[in-house]
C-alpha cells in the first residue's frame, strides 16, 4: 500500500466495487457545499438567456464529454432552440485526451462559436488548468461573455478567471489520479443542478413538470399529453386532442383547455408570456 492508498489489484472484485461506491458518497455533499455559487450561476444563466444570449459549454477529455452531454440534453428537455445551446470539446466528440493541450483547437472553435458579450460560457475542467478550456474561457471573457467554471480545484486558473466558480472538491479518487470517477460525477451533478435551476427561473418548468419538452417520439408525445392532462385536470385523450389542435404546443394546449381559448389564440397567448403560470395568471 502506497501512502495509505488501497491495493486495488489485490482486492476481491466486491471490495473494489465497494470502495468505488464509497467514493461516490462524497459527491452530493461536495456539490451542496457550492450552493451559493450554483444559485448565482443558475440565475446568471437564466437572466442572460432571457436577454437573448446563448449558453456555450466547453471542455476537454472527460470534462468535455460531460459538457457535450449536458448541452445535448437541454433543447429537447426544455424546448430551447438548439442554436441557443452550443458545445465544443477539444478535438471533437471522438477526441483523445491529448487534444486538451492544443490551444490551436481552441482558436478554431472560437472562430466557429463567435462568442459575444451576451453569451454565457460554462467551462468544465477537473484541474481548472486545462490549456484548451482556459484559452476558450479567456477569449470569452475578452469578448465580454460571462464565464461559469465547473472545476474540482478551487485555487486554479480557471476558477480565478471565471465570473462564478463552482469548485467541487471531492478529494482523492479511489483510482488514483483519475478524473472520470467522483470528480466526473460531481461535475455532472453540478451541471444538472445548475442548468435545471436556470430553466426553472427561465419559465421552462411548470410545478415540477417539463412543460416545454419536445415531443419528438411516441414516448415523449405520451409524456407531453400526460403533462397537459395533469395541469388541466382532463383525460389523456382530451389532452392529446388539444395538443393536436395547438400544433404540439403544450403551454397553448393547457390554455385552450383551462381557459376555453380557441387554439390559435391559445398559441398566441402562450408566446406572449415567460411561463405558463404567467399566462394563466394574466387571463384569470
Q: Domains of the chain, with CATH numbers?
A: 8-201 (3.40.50.10490), 218-282 (1.10.8.1080)
In DSSP terms, 166 is beta-bridged to 150
Residue 43: per-residue pLDDT: 98
Residue 4: per-residue pLDDT: 75
Q: Provide the CA 91 distance to its chain's centre, in angstroms.
A: 21
| Torsion angle (degrees, nearest 10) of CA 73, 76, 82, 84 | -70
What confidence tens digit (pLDDT) does each residue in 215-258 have? 999 999 999 999 999 999 999 999 999 999 999 999 999 999 99
Question: Of the listed 7, 24, 43, 73, which one is catalytic?
Answer: 73
What confidence tens digit (pLDDT) does each residue in 121-172 have? 999 999 999 999 999 999 999 999 999 999 999 899 999 999 999 999 999 9
Is 24 annotated in the active site?
Answer: no
CA neighbor of 65 nearest in space, from 195, 193, 184, 186: 184
Long-range Cβ contacts of 242-246 (<8 Å, 24+ apart):
243/215
d(CA 79, CA 57): 18
What confidence tens digit (pLDDT) does each residue in 251-283 have? 999 999 999 999 999 999 999 999 999 999 986
- Please report how many Cα atoms fall inside a 13 Å half-sphere around the Cα of residue 201, on the Cβ side: 19
What confidence tens digit (pLDDT) does each residue in 176-198 have? 988 889 999 999 999 999 999 99
Is 73 annotated in the active site?
Answer: yes
Residue 144: per-residue pLDDT: 96
Q: Specify the DSSP element, H or E, that contains 150.
A: strand 146-151
What confidence tens digit (pLDDT) does each residue in 72-130 have? 999 999 999 999 999 999 988 766 666 777 888 889 999 999 999 999 999 999 999 99
Amino acid at each position: 500500500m502506497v501512502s495509505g492508498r488501497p491495493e486495488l489489484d489485490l482486492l476481491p472484485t466486491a471490495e473494489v466495487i465497494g470502495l468505488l461506491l464509497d467514493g461516490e458518497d462524497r459527491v452530493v455533499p461536495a456539490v451542496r457545499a457550492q450552493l451559493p455559487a450554483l444559485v448565482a450561476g443558475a440565475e446568471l444563466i437564466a437572466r442572460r438567456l432571457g436577454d437573448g444570449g446563448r449558453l456555450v459549454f466547453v471542455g476537454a477529455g472527460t470534462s468535455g464529454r460531460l459538457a457535450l452531454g449536458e448541452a445535448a440534453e437541454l433543447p429537447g428537455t426544455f424546448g430551447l432552440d438548439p442554436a441557443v445551446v452550443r458545445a465544443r470539446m477539444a478535438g471533437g466528440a471522438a477526441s483523445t485526451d491529448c487534444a486538451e493541450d492544443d490551444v490551436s483547437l481552441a482558436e478554431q472553435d472560437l472562430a466557429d462559436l463567435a462568442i459575444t458579450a451576451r453569451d454565457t460560457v460554462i467551462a468544465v475542467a477537473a484541474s481548472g488548468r486545462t490549456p484548451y478550456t482556459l484559452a476558450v474561457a479567456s477569449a470569452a471573457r475578452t469578448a465580454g461573455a460571462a464565464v461559469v467554471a465547473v472545476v474540482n480545484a478551487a485555487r486554479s486558473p480557471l476558477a480565478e478567471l471565471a465570473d462564478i466558480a463552482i469548485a467541487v472538491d471531492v478529494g482523492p479518487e479511489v483510482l488514483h489520479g483519475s478524473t472520470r470517477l467522483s470528480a466526473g460525477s460531481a461535475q455532472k451533478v453540478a451541471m444538472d443542478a445548475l442548468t435545471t435551476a436556470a430553466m426553472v427561473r427561465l419559465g421552462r418548468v411548470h410545478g415540477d413538470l417539463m412543460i416545454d419538452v419536445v415531443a419528438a417520439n411516441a414516448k415523449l408525445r405520451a409524456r407531453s399529453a400526460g403533462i397537459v392532462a395533469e395541469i388541466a385536470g382532463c383525460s389523456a385523450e382530451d389532452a392529446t386532442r388539444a395538443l393536436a389542435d395547438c400544433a404540439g404546443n403544450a403551454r397553448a394546449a393547457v390554455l385552450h383547455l383551462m381557459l376555453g381559448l380557441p387554439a390559435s389564440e391559445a398559441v398566441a397567448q402562450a408566446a406572449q408570456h415567460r411561463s405558463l403560470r404567467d399566462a394563466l395568471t394574466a387571463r384569470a
